[in-house]
Chains A and B, each alone.
Chain A
Amino acid sequence: MADKRRVVITGAGVVSPFGAGVDTLVNALLENRSGISTHTLLKEFPLMNSHVAGIVPEIDFSFIPRHYRRSMTKMSLFAMLCVTEALKTAGHAKAPAGTAVYIGSTVSSMQAWLDFSEKFLNKRLDLVKSTAVFQVMNHSPLANLQQALDIRGPGLGASNACATGLMNIGLAYQAIRQGTLESALAGGTDEYHPMMTGCFAIMNAASSQYNDAPARASRPFDKDRGGIVCSEGCGIVYLETLDSAKKRSANILAEITGFAANTETKSISHPSSDSIIECMSMALDSAGVTPREIDLVNAHATSTVDGDIEEAISIEKVFGKDPPVNSLKGHLGHTMAASGSMELIAVIHMMLGGKAAGTLNLDAVDPACAGIRHFTGTVECAVNTFVKNSFALGGTNTSMVLRRYGA
Chain B
Amino acid sequence: MAEKEQFLARQENPQHALNRVVWIAAIALILVYFFLDPETPGVPRCPVLIFTGWKCPRCGSQRAFHQLLQGNFQQAMSYNLLFIPALVYAGIGWLMENTALGARFPGLKRKVYGFYAILLVLGITISYGIARNLM
Specify whether A and B are partners. Answer: no
